[in-house]
Amino acid sequence: MNYRIVHNLPQRIRICLNLPKRHTQDNSRIERLFSAIEGVQKISFNYRTRSLLIRYNGNSNVRDVLLKIIKETPLTFVRKENFKQDILEQKKKAAMLAGTLLIARPIIPLILAPVFALYGAMPIFKKGLRAILNKHLNVDVLDSTAIGISLVRGDYLTVSLITFFLKVGNYLEERIRQKSRESLSKMFQRRDEWAWIKRNGWEMRVNLKDIAVGDLVVVRTGSSIPVDGIVVEGVALVNQSSMTGEPLPVPKRAGLMVYAGTVLEEGLLTIKSLKVSDETRVSKIIKVIEESEGLKADVQNYAERLANRIVPYSFLLSGLIYLFTSNPLRAVSVLLVDYSCAIKLSTPLTIMSAMIAASRRGVIIKGGRFIEKLAQANIFVFDKTGTLTEAKPKVFDLLPFNGFDREYILKNVACVEEHFPHPVATAVVKRAEEEGLVHEENHAEVEYVLAHGIASRIEGKRILVGSKHFIYEDNKVDVKCEEPVIKDFMDKGYSILYVSVENKLAGIIAIEDRLREDLKKFLSMLKASGVERIIMLTGDNDTTARNVANRLGIEEYHAQILPEGKTEIIKNLKGNGYVVAMVGDGINDSPSISYADVGISMKHGADIAKEACDILLLDRGLEGIIEARKISQDAISRIKKNFRYIMGINTTLIGLGIGGMISPVLSALIHNATTLIVSASTLKPYKYNVNKLTN
């Protein structure tokens, strides 16, 4: 950051910062950079003068630290928070001015009529000129030409009408976009978020919004990293699938970058924050929501491209009409009626209105592209645990083997499992608490093996807890002698957690993970909506998977599958031409969620899955997918229907204008009124609603 020292007194220093003219007016954002420095007594920043006044104890070391922070801390200032609101207000004022000029036209002196008409149309002329300079022949040029010809002909009523309708259209479009962004962003933003930071050698808990650039943030196992920053202390495994799609955690140590929204799976890190709040990568979701028009559906892109391609033909047709009829009125009538306005206004409004409708039903859709993909999806792939099941598993039974004691197994498994926020781990810890088993922290460091299990040592003995694949195949622990008993539990639909001590099978824990209520009804409705295939994926054994699939009527499933295997299945399905929707909620699901055409996650899911998904179910169960899909299909249907209406009505108007059966003024009036009517029709409520699925 560039700066200039204005004055430097023994206990006071004033610094002028070289900042952009338009930057945030939140003074505390800069002041917080220095508030934690020992010896600093008072800080004051004036955004108008960009002047930073710091009072301190006079120690030269403190002064050097202050200047170092100012010099080395990267700050990216953004435009004022109300900048988008300013744009909306400007467009509102422009529309009101155009309306006022139109209403006042009868009392405006004739000599001043061209001046007022030109004044009102000047913003449109500027847009047209800008398009020409950029070598674009688009609707802005078309509008400018039509207004220009009307001005030359002295038809100021037509000029005022065109100007008014265009500005009203611009205002309405901006207003619905802004309201949509605000609605979606507010629903997605989480409250009461906090983190631990080090200041003056002490750890303190602060709200995420109070973390400043330069703060030392402490992150422990199982927590989400709240800032983008550089590791200054510690070693850990960080799962950053939401950023890179890597299925396995990445080692992080001093000097390496970490990013907000990634999850620290094991270890402890102290991170110097470089980007906070809206500047972090994790904020990309809210930015995507706020700028969702950038994620346009293919049908939206097609409509807008077609609308722009029609513009040159409008000019050509106008020229031919004038050439053969020598009638400027008929020639102008073609320019006053274009297809672009209605198409480019109604289509994004339809997309945004669908996003609002879904958000009101507790479903966040992060862009128009995903509305279209959800409507088109013909294969749905579901992770089992936590998605098709209730995500609240319970310990049904525990069987000890090879002379081990039941209480010994439950107590020590709970001891190592309590360090990981996993539903199965929580179930084991809860069962130990219910039985009054107190476990001391007498184990060594716990090692978490993603999608397999955990390993540690208790009183010097190696303990392994996890799947059969982890115990039997990876660690060569013999389980064959107990397989008949284990199979009996599997046949009844229980998931099995294997426990080994010193390479001996110590016991198994049967986990009951109940299916969600009314799941068969949901799957039936999903098929009725046009889905061709439903596939279930699980890391459970084949017997358990088959049992669940049979109970739900799911014909296709894959058992004992790892994260990379899920992604491979999605790739193969997409490669065969299917539009794939993946529904999951765990860390293991995030790579496949990212790779699917549309990824869907749940509110209770892992942070990574929620960041990686394209659609997030907030307050609804799986029935939210049915509602969102119906809304999406309705939205795409509206876009196509509007397209037909726009083409038919405007073609009719052009034909009437060419035949001289309608005046240019009436043609412009009907055209612009039709544009607004068609656009307004896209905002009608989406009435489809599933309050509760019932059999």
Task: Give CA angle at 481 (478, 483), nearest 5°.
Answer: 95
Q: Please report the pLDDT score of residue 449 as a whole number.
A: 64
Q: Cβ(386)–Cβ(622) under 8 Å? A: no
What angle do helix axes 368-376 and 623-658 make, rounded to 10 degrees?
Answer: 110
Token reading at 153: 């002909």
CATH architecture of 3-72: 2-Layer Sandwich (3.30)
648 vs 71, residue with greater confidence? 648
Token reading at 6: 């204005």
What is the rounded distance in angstroms from the CA atom of residue 216 to the CA atom of residue 272?
A: 5
What is the rounded distance in angstroms from the CA atom of residue 519 to the CA atom of residue 517?
A: 5
With H, G, I as helix, E, B as strand and everything else as coil, classify residue 153: helix
Which residues make up the CATH 3.30.70.100 domain(s) of the chain? Answer: 3-72
* Residue-wise DSSP of 353-367: HHHHHHHHTTEEE--
pTM: 0.59
Q: Please report the pLDDT score of residue 87 as a whole number.
A: 65
Token reading at 220: 């422990």
Asked whether residue 341 carries a pLDDT value surpassing 90, the answer given is: no
Of the candidates 3, 201, 180, the residue with the CA atom closest to the CA atom of residue 88: 180
Q: Cβ(349)–Cβ(679) under 8 Å? A: yes
Q: Which amino acid is at 204?
A: M
CATH of 194-284, one of 3.40.50.300, 2.70.150.10, 3.40.50.80, 1.25.40.10: 2.70.150.10
With H, G, I as helix, E, B as strand and everything else as coil, classify residue 30: helix
pLDDT tens-place string over residues 431-469: 988 888 876 666 556 676 655 678 888 888 889 998 888
Which residues make up the CATH 2.70.150.10 domain(s) of the chain? Answer: 194-284
- Phi/psi for 647 (5° steps) reads -65, -45
Asked whether residue 367 carries a pLDDT value surpassing 70, the answer given is: yes
Range name among 262-276, 383-397, 424-438, 488-502 with the lowest pLDDT average: 383-397
Q: Please, which residues have CB within 8 angstroms of residue 13's CB and are 6 or more apart in sequence?
A: 5, 7, 53, 54, 56, 63, 66
Compute the residue count for the chain.
695
pLDDT tens-place string over residues 96-108: 777 777 777 677 7
56 vs 25, residue with greater confidence? 56
Q: Cβ(418)–Cβ(407) under 8 Å? A: no
What is the rounded distance in angstroms from the CA atom of residue 364 to the CA atom of residue 360?
A: 9
Q: Please report the pLDDT score of residue 664 as a whole number.
A: 66
Residue with tokens 């978020």: 193
pLDDT bucket at 304, cuts 50 / 70 / 90? low
CATH superfamily for 368-389+515-613 is HAD superfamily/HAD-like (3.40.50.1000)
Asked whether residue 24 carries a pLDDT value surpassing 60, the answer given is: no
Of the candidates 548, 594, 546, the residue with the CA atom closest to the CA atom of residue 574: 594
CATH architecture of 394-512: 3-Layer(aba) Sandwich (3.40)
* Residue-wise DSSP of 159-194: HHHHHHHHHHHHHHHHHHHHHHHHHHHHHH--SS-E
What is the rounded distance in angstroms from the CA atom of residue 438 to the CA atom of residue 433?
A: 7
Kindly compute the dihedral angle of the four CA atoms of residues 610, 611, 613, 619, in this order, to the nearest 10 degrees. 30
Residue 57 carries which DSSP code?
Answer: -
Which residues make up the CATH 3.40.1110.10 domain(s) of the chain? Answer: 394-512
What is the rounded distance in angstroms from the CA atom of residue 245 to the CA atom of residue 265?
A: 16
Asked whether residue 244 carries a pLDDT value surpassing 50, the answer given is: no
